[in-house]
Amino acid sequence: MDRRAFIGNLSVPFVAACAACLSASCGKSASSPANSSGTGTGTGPTSFNVDLGSQITNVGDSLVQNGVIIVRTASGNTASSFAAVQVACTHQGTSIGYEKSANDFLCPNHGSRFALDGSVINGPATNPLKKYNIAISGSTMTISG
């Protein structure tokens, strides 16, 4: 086999492998934590408890658990003092964080901002974050949704 044929035979599998790598790293995958509807992983309902006696005790504190980010936005142990949304940005699944100074959520990857109720403030994300239900009994918060 001559050199040109040998290189030609090698280039097809190499190009195919590169294309597969690029599509997996540059776009959403089927296993991405967020889907286009903004409903999280789709693995079913989430339900867990948080001990408010030892966790997220100060205004501005946040906690990530079970794919949910919970933020204390006001003092007092009432449901209205907290926000709970999916932690995966609906754009590409990057974990968002709480921005205390703006009182919203920010995706560090491309700058999408979300309100405390999960709605999109600015993109590139176009779908809202899933909002979770909050119930409080004594010092136990239950997140469900």
Q: What is the pLDDT of residues 68-106, one digit of tens each?
A: 999 999 999 999 999 999 999 999 999 999 999 999 999
Select from 120, 134, 127 the least CA-distant residue to 83. Answer: 134
Report whether pLDDT(41) > 60: no
Between 104 and 36, the more confident residue is 104
Q: What is the DSSP string of 29-79?
A: -TT-SS-TTS-TT-S---EEEEETTTSS-STT-EEEETTEEEEE-SSSSSG
User: How far is C-alpha 18 from the chain's CA centre?
Assistant: 28
Instruction: Pull the structure tokens for residue 102.
Output: 């703006």
Distance (Å, whole) CA 23 – CA 15: 12
State the pTM of this model.
0.69
What pLDDT was estimated at residue 9?
53
- Whether the per-residue pLDDT at 23 is higher than 70: the answer is no
Q: Which two tokens stand for residue 127?
A: 């779908």
CB 113 within 8 A of CB 95: no
